[in-house]
A and B are shown apart, each in its own frame.
Chain A
Amino acid sequence: MTKIGYFPGCSLNGTAKEYDLSLQAIARFADVELVELADWNCCGATAAHSLNSTLAVALPARNLAIAESMGFDEILVPCAACYSRLAQSRHEIKSDEKYRTKIPQLIEMDIKGTANPITVLDFINKYVLGKLKDNLSNKLNAKFACYYGCLLTRPEHLSTIERREDPLVMEQIVQLVGGMAIDWAFKVECCGAGLSVVRTDIIGKLCAKILDDANSRGADAIVVACPMCHSNLDMRRNEINKNLASANTLPIIYITQLLGLALGIEPNKLGFDKHFVSTGKFLHKLQKQTMEV
C-alpha cells in the first residue's frame, strides 16, 4: 500500500465533509493510505497573502516542513485554495533566497521543499484511473458540467493542468465513467471564493451566471474539485436564486463522489446526504438510467 501525505485543511473537516468521505473511499479503492499531517495548521487562505506576504509563505511552509519530516514526497491537498497556498509557498522558498533563510527561523523547522503538493486531479490521474477501468460497476449516464474554478488553473506557474484556459481533464474522467461532459462557457470562471462569508451578494451574481449556463446547456449536475467552489455553488443557492428568473436546482457534486458512484459505493458513504441542494432527484435519475455494468 502506497502512503502519501494528506493535508485536509479546514474545509474537509467542516463544510466539505462529503469531499473527505468520498476521497477516503476512492483512496481505499486505489490502495493508497492518506496519512494526515501531524499537527497541521491553517494554510493561510485567503486572508494571509493579502495582509502579510511573509506570513503567507510561512504558514503553508510549516505544513510542508511537517510532511518532509514525516518523509513524504507528496502531499495530497484536495482543497484548491490550500493547494495554491502550499504550492506557492514551496515555489517562493525554492526560488527566493530571502525566504530560504527566513522561513526556517520563523517556523523553527528545517525546510528543503522536497515535499510536493498535488491536487485531487493529479491524485486521480496518478493513482486511480489506471485501476478504474476494470472496476467500474456503474455507468453514469448523465450530463455533467465540469467546473474548475480559478485556483486549479491559475496562476500559470502553479497549475499542473494542460490547456489551462479550456481544460479537459475532468471531462476525460467523466467520459471514462460513462457520462457526457457538456461544452459550456464558465468552467474556469471565478465563483467568488473567499467572498463567501462577507459579500454573499457578489457570490450570488457570479455563481448565478455559472449555474444558469450549466442549466441552459442541459447539465444534470456540476462536477467540482474544490470545496470553495462547492460551498459557494451549493450553500449560497438562496442568494444565487435571487439573481435568476427561476430557482436553480442543479446539484453540485465532487469529482470524488462521481468516481465513488461509478465504483458502486453507496451514495450515503460518499456523503450525498450532506448537500444543501438536494442530490436526490439526480441520484434517482441516475438510478433509473444507469445500467449495471
Chain B
Amino acid sequence: MQEFEPKIVAFVCNWCTYAGADLAGTSRIKYATNVRIVRFPCTGRIDYMLILKAFQNGADGVIVSGCHPNDCHYTSGNFHARRRWIVFNELLELLGFDKRRLFFSWVSAAEGAKWANLVNEVVTEVRKLGPFNEYEELSKINVNSIGEICNV
C-alpha cells in the first residue's frame, strides 16, 4: 500500500520565514514536497479562520511561522500573532480539535536549514497521525443527532 502523504499548508510572513524558505532553496537543502507556502506581509496579518479553512479544504497539518520575537519587520505583528495563537489554541482545545496538527515556529531569514527541518518534522508527525477526516465526518452529522452526541 502506498504510504500516506500528508498535505501541509504553511502560513508565513514575507520578511522572515518566506525569505528563510528562499534561503533553503538557494542553499539547495532538500525537504519533503508536502508543504505549500502561502505568503503574508506579516504573521500579524494571519486571520486564524484561515487555518480552519485550510483544514476544510483538505489540509492535514498547518504551520504558522514568522520572525522571531523582537525581529518583526513591523515591530510587533508577531507578538499579536502569538497572543491570538494562544487564544485560538484554547478555542480549538474546547472544540476537541487535535492540536497536534498545528505547528508554530519562528524561522528567520537566515534559518534555511531550520525551515527544512521544520517541514520534515511536521510531515513525519502528521504522517503518524494519518489523514485528517474529522471535518468531513463532522459535516455529515445530522443536526438532529447533535443531542445524542452531547448526551454521550
- Indicate if A touches B (C-beta under 8 A): no
